[in-house]
Amino acid sequence: MIEELKNLVKEYLPNANLALIEKAYNFASNAHYCQTRASGEPYINHCFNTAKILTELKLDEATICAALLHDVLEDTLVVREELKEEFGEEITTLVEGVTKINSYKFNDNITEQAENWRKMLLAVVKDTRVIIIKLADRLHNMRTIKYLPPDKQKEISIETLTLYTPFAHRLGIYKWKSELEDLIFEVLQPTKYHEIKSKWEARSESNLKNLEIVEKQIQEKIDPLNIEYRILARPKNLYGIYRKMQRQEKPFSAIQDLFGLRVITDTKEHCYAILSVVQSEFNILENSFTDYIAVPKANMYQSLHITINSDQNVIVEIQIRTEEMHRRAEYGIAAHWRYKEAFNKNGAANLKQTDINMEHHLEFIKHILESQKDVKDSNEFLTAIKTECNFDQIYVTTPKGDAIKLPEGATALDFAYAVHSDIGDRCMGVKVDGKIVPLDYKLKTGQRCEALVRKNIRPTENWLSIAITAQARSRIRKYLREHKKK
């Protein structure tokens, strides 16, 4: 295993400290000696596979070493001082970041879970690699979850669906997010999972043939442009198909775009050139075009999305992006981190720009920690994480035309606090598209909103049952706390 791991790292890091990686492997192997997993295999296999998953993201040797060692402080007799002496501060800090707090300190599982997430998020703000190691660890645990008792499988899957998967999405690591969703889907809804899987497999051969025809047609149209590009076929993940069936209230037979095509080119200008060809040469489904290059998603995802109906009456979603956008779409924040490392030797200007990108990614984590620093309720803290990681967002505008971004399900009261905390504190209602609505009214994308204030209005306990954003709830609690003291 160690030779396989060293070879994988050497492929993308020719000058990597392979001796350090081998030392970490041997240290972990000795520390976990005689420990086995639920499958009966040696525990070191899990450490190896966690590290192997991280080589897909081409991470540095310190991260690979930390992945190999990620459970030694939690599950063995190794202590921090010993680990630091052997591997230094950087690797030890990464291992500490993913290490859970001793469970004997808590009276219930919810409090334990909340405090472990609070501890990890504090570590993530200091070093992004902590959450990447944790996600790789959870991905391998989900791949091998079948060896656990059914009730434990369900408990871990629910936690993964509500916390880890949204985090992977929020950080832009779509490759891991999709696999986690399918693994969770199989555990929580096995009948529905296997039903959709069998239907998908029955249609996949004909879909692939149709996709090849469409791909050839696209190539014939793009080739005259004389630009660099490549095309990849992408099957939709099963959980994504299931969610689409639910959203559109359609049976599987009515879902046509089971596969998509990615057209990857070298520059942003060439993305729009390819888009122009697709729009002029194919039948475009109405309202199917989205420009995430001009307006990136919150996790910096960029791509052009458009859905066509081919000559064979095959509906295919096409995503057009550059190579850099594609790396970011697959690996999200990890792609930024790798970019930062690549430019370490090439001057502060490039590094500074990359740090700005990283800061943008971590802003929502800082927001969670800041807004929840005085919160003692564990459920409240976990709910704040889930809300902030919610990637289904809405956009509303103020009378001045400013866009306000809110999580799906946000209320008029959340909007008022998003405009300004003082406006939220005095909000009596919100005018939405010219009509006054109550504070608990749920907003929708595209609405024009104006907060209405009155001097004698003040937050009440009831407002906590209306607001869903961490910002609004934190401000309401602050007012109630100060008012109670007075």
User: What are the catalytic residues?
Assistant: 74-75
Provide the token pair at 311: 């000559």
Q: What is the DSSP letter of 258?
A: S
Sequence-separated (6 or more) residues with CB below 8 Å from residue 16: 9, 10, 60, 61
Coil, helix or strand for 402?
coil
CB 73 within 8 A of CB 32: no
Residue 417, H or E segment: helix 412-419
**Using CA atoms, how far apart are residues 129 and 110, in angstroms rounded to an integer?**
25
**Using CA atoms, how far apart are residues 209 and 212, in angstroms rounded to an integer?**
5
Of 212, 163, 189, give the one whose Cα is nearest residue 382. Answer: 163
Sequence-separated (6 or more) residues with CB below 8 Å from residue 284: 278, 306, 307, 308, 309
CB 441 within 8 A of CB 427: no
Give the other-Cβ count within 10 Å of 459's Cβ.
Answer: 22
**Using CA atoms, how far apart are residues 263 and 230, in angstroms rounded to an integer?**
6
Task: Give the CA dihedral 237, 238, 239, 242, nearest 10 degrees.
Answer: 130
**How far lies 411's CA from each of 47, 191, 285, 383, 388, in Å?**
44, 36, 32, 16, 15
**Using CA atoms, how far apart are residues 229 and 54, in angstroms rounded to an integer?**
27
CB 351 within 8 A of CB 343: yes
